[in-house]
Structure 1
Amino acid sequence: MRESKQVTGLSSGHLTHIEDHLDRRYIQPGKLPGALTLVARRGEIAYLKAQGLMDVERNKPVCRDTVFRIYSMTKPITSIAMMQLYEQGRFLLDDPVHKYIPAWKNLRVYNSGVYPNFLTTPATSTMTIRDLFTHMSGLTYGFMNRTNVDAAYRELKLDGGRNLTLEALVGHLAEVPLEFSPGTAWNYSVSTDVLGYLVQLLADQPFDEYLREHIFEPLAMPDTGFHVRDDQLNRFAACYQYDPVDQFKLQDDPQTSPFRDKRRFLSGGGGLVSTIDDYFHFAQALCQGGEFGGRRIIGRKTLEFMRRNHLPGNQDLPGLSVGPFSETPYAGTGFGLGFSVKTDVAKSQINGSVGEYGWGGLASTNFIIDPVEELVVIFMTQLIPSSTYPIRQELRAIVNGALV
């Protein structure tokens, strides 16, 4: 078979399988409204394709500059912001969190009961800042729907109620027990929102202003922020909820979305909107050791440190997780300072490289960085929940198959 034209070591012919696969399996059958996919290697975009609709009700196609809710793809950005302050000596990873949030000094662990009548025991370990980065803090998310503790989060609206602020979040968290003693297990949580609070505290600057000044402006990310501006509205995608009967239904209309408001709660764990080019600038900066377009946002050694597996004993997530979560396949996957990290390719059952890292968002967005292959993959769509279809694994198979 004749090889198609190669672009930076990627078979352009093989990459067309992405378009064919998404169209045949997901968009034409009505499983996804639309998608936007980017593949880059050695800093050069080798594949960029918009498919389907960004707003089904208004029949608006996905475009390159469509604005998406990236939800938990906010977490790596917040983690980089916090580590910028680490590079300035503002904190150490083994600092107890109560050094900066005094009300957290005597945290307790859930034993029994329901909110507000909990029976608790003292935590057997002190929560450190690294526990927040790695989701080993003992905190949780209300949407887990797993325990009486996350039920309290839902009652207090700690996942992002309209009246919540970062200050109110850390205040409420001081009064709710932990799921477990810090450092003893892994549980996806509001930990990165607490990191956003700490960025604000340590930098003595509002969190959104800090991100704009130290990440978004240096990396030319004008469409990334905590709310959708008037000039972005025409490009703002609708978000959909999976429906087992009708496949998906409208979950958040662009015209009435809460993302249209200037939000009081600047969620470092899931509050940003962005475009594929903006996020590519961020991901490519990481792929290039911390700089993009001549602007450095993080030191090379700091980034190498962040993308190591920080789980104790080099364990993977199944060995430490106390509850299921869909953002990444667990087997052969550890966790660094803000990203999932592949530790065992065979165990993961997905091709790739040891050291590959990235994360995804609630509405099925995802990004992958493979530093061995100098590869960046970004996938944008708007379908909740992210566990609906195995698109992330399928994209890895197709993209890695294009390497020549």
Structure 2
Amino acid sequence: MLTPEIDPADAGFDAARLARIDRHFTRYVDEGKLPGFLAVIARDGQVVHTAKGGMADIEAGRSVAEDTLWRIYSMTKPITSVAAMLLWEEGAFELKDPVAKFIPAFADARVWAGGNQNSPVTRPAVEPVRLWHLLTHTAGLTYGFHYAHPLDGVYRKAGYEFGSPGDLAQAVDDWARLPLLFEPGTEFNYSVSTDVLGRVVEVISGQPLDAFFKERIFEPLGMTDTAFSATDPDRLAALYEPGLARNDRMGRAALHTPAMLSGGGGLIGRAADYHRFTSMLVREGAPLLAPRTLRYMARNHLPGGAELKDVARPTISETQNDGMGFGLGFSVVLDPAGTKIATHPGELAWGGLASTAFYVVPQERLSVQFFTQMIPSSAYPLRSQLRQLVYQAMTD
């Protein structure tokens, strides 16, 4: 569970300052901005402080509890990235390998050259889509829900805005036949890349993604309550939009295993499980990955060592762009002064559509998670405020 395991002072925290986290996010609940929340702060894998308040399900009168189940959406992506790197450590692929080696439909990729949603103009890609492009969202893929470029509309027209009309194999083949937004490896666009990566994991391992996750990540880490559907519907938090409008149209999807196992956004789990995952990152990969692998994943892999602000398309993402790079599966802080957030170089982070978030600072042996169920994640500045409140509570 998430009961504090160590005295805050012994972990380098001021208990009175940690209490500011509780008060701050409780105000969000009291003002009707959030249904409820749960925050977990840990050092060296030991829980230092938990803050929780409000309701997991307002209409049912059910309070947030330590075992509440949350839709983590894009916080699935780092898990899929770790899954891929487990196979990389076994020599199953090289980061420069073309994706077409495992998914033949990518062999004849074409790049958007003009036109409109109904009549795209394309040209052959010069550079193949490679595995490292999937891990860094530099493949030229997109999301139908961006509404930022005509190609996003092409995805929607094919049935890919949220969810999928078929299984993962079918979705990936469909995406491979659509134009790429740009030449692979030249820009960053938040996209279905991690879903494609999940399909690569399936092809290489010969296992469905849920089975691979369970065998290679969830069971070794003790993540017993994380899956592609709610393990216990009675503990599932409801999904809300601003104004605390309940969204059951999207929310009910968590009650059933989907046809498409989305490595980019499909997992539901409890905070204690994700704490186990972030503790693994604090331990530089142990017991799943070798330390050098995790350290390599935590480097900035954007083209030319650029910051996100220089290469990222202006689409919805789960991080800010200033001062940030991107590694193999998560954002990486390059310039804390540039972020204008009290943070640390090398901080790894990502978030999810429903305003969940995590960040890890291996150098500080720190992991932080935040859970709520408010879409979109841009509704409130929860993530920057969480960092501000955690860092101000640290005494060493």
Normalised-by-shorter TM-score class: over 0.9
Match in the other structure for 1:177: 179
CA distance in structure 1 between the aligned counterparts of 2:79 and 2:15, rounded to whole angstroms: 30
- What SS class does the counterpart of residue 115 from structure 2 fall into? strand
Amino acid of the structure 1 residue aligned with 2:236: F
Q: CA deviation at 1:312?
A: 2.1
Match in the other structure for 1:313: 304
1:248 counterpart = 2:244: yes
Q: CA deviation at 1:326?
A: 4.0
1:261 counterpart = 2:256: yes
CA displacement 1:185-220 (0-9 Å, x = unmatched): 100000000000000000011111000000001111
CA distance in structure 1 between the aligned counterparts of 2:216 and 2:61, rounded to whole angstroms: 37
CA displacement 1:101-126 (0-9 Å, x = unmatched): 22211211112334453211122322
Q: CA deviation at 1:157?
A: 2.2
1:12 counterpart = 2:23: no
**Identity rate of aligned residues, in percent?**
43
Q: Which of 199, 202, 218 is the aligned partner of 2:201?
A: 199
Match in the other structure for 1:81: 83
1:272 counterpart = 2:267: yes
Structure 1 residue runs without a partner (length 5+): none
Match in the other structure for 2:339: 348
Match in the other structure for 2:239: 239
- What SS class does the counterpart of residue 334 from structure 1 fall into? strand
The alpha-carbon distance between structure 1 residues 7 and 30, as it changes in their structure 2 partners (threshold 3 A), is farther
Which has the larger displacement, 170-179 or 204-213?
170-179
- What SS class does the counterpart of residue 84 from structure 1 fall into? helix
Amino acid of the structure 2 residue aligned with 1:391: L
- What SS class does the counterpart of residue 149 from structure 1 fall into? helix
Q: Which of 359, 373, 387 is the aligned partner of 1:382?
A: 373
CA displacement 1:30-88 (0-9 Å, x = unmatched): 00000000000122111112200000111110000000000000000000000000000
Structure ranking higher in helix proportion: 2
The alpha-carbon distance between structure 1 residues 159 and 84, as it changes in their structure 2 partners (threshold 3 A), is farther
- What SS class does the counterpart of residue 36 from structure 1 fall into? strand
CA distance in structure 2 between the aligned counterparts of 1:161 and 1:350, rounded to whole angstroms: 33
Match in the other structure for 1:95: 97
- What SS class does the counterpart of residue 233 from structure 2 fall into? helix
The alpha-carbon distance between structure 1 residues 121 and 212, as it changes in their structure 2 partners (threshold 3 A), is same
Amino acid of the structure 2 residue aligned with 1:138: G
The alpha-carbon distance between structure 1 residues 386 and 68, as it changes in their structure 2 partners (threshold 3 A), is same
Which has the larger displacement, 103-112 or 47-56?
103-112
- What SS class does the counterpart of residue 257 from structure 1 fall into? helix
Output the TM-score relative to the length of structure 1: 0.93
The alpha-carbon distance between structure 1 residues 265 and 159, as it changes in their structure 2 partners (threshold 3 A), is farther
Q: CA deviation at 1:161?
A: 3.5
Q: Which of 310, 321, 334 is the aligned partner of 1:330?
A: 321
CA displacement 1:228-264 (0-9 Å, x = unmatched): 13xx11110000112xxxx23001279x711111211
- RMSD of the alignment, in Å? 1.5
Q: CA deviation at 1:174?
A: 2.4
Output the TM-score relative to the length of structure 2: 0.95
Which has the larger displacement, 279-288 or 112-121?
112-121
Match in the other structure for 1:282: 277
> Contact 2:8/2:48 (CA < 8 Å) preserved in 1?
no
The alpha-carbon distance between structure 1 residues 5 and 145, as it changes in their structure 2 partners (threshold 3 A), is closer
Q: Which of 24, 34, 37 is the aligned partner of 1:35?
A: 37
Match in the other structure for 1:21: 24
> Contact 2:230/2:269 (CA < 8 Å) preserved in 1?
no
Q: How does 1:45-60 map to 2 (within 5 A)?
A: 45-60=47-62
- What SS class does the counterpart of residue 122 from structure 2 fall into? strand
> Contact 2:187/2:303 (CA < 8 Å) preserved in 1?
no
How many residue pairs match? The answer is: 389
Amino acid of the structure 1 residue aligned with 2:305: N
CA distance in structure 2 between the aligned counterparts of 1:330 and 1:80, rounded to whole angstroms: 23
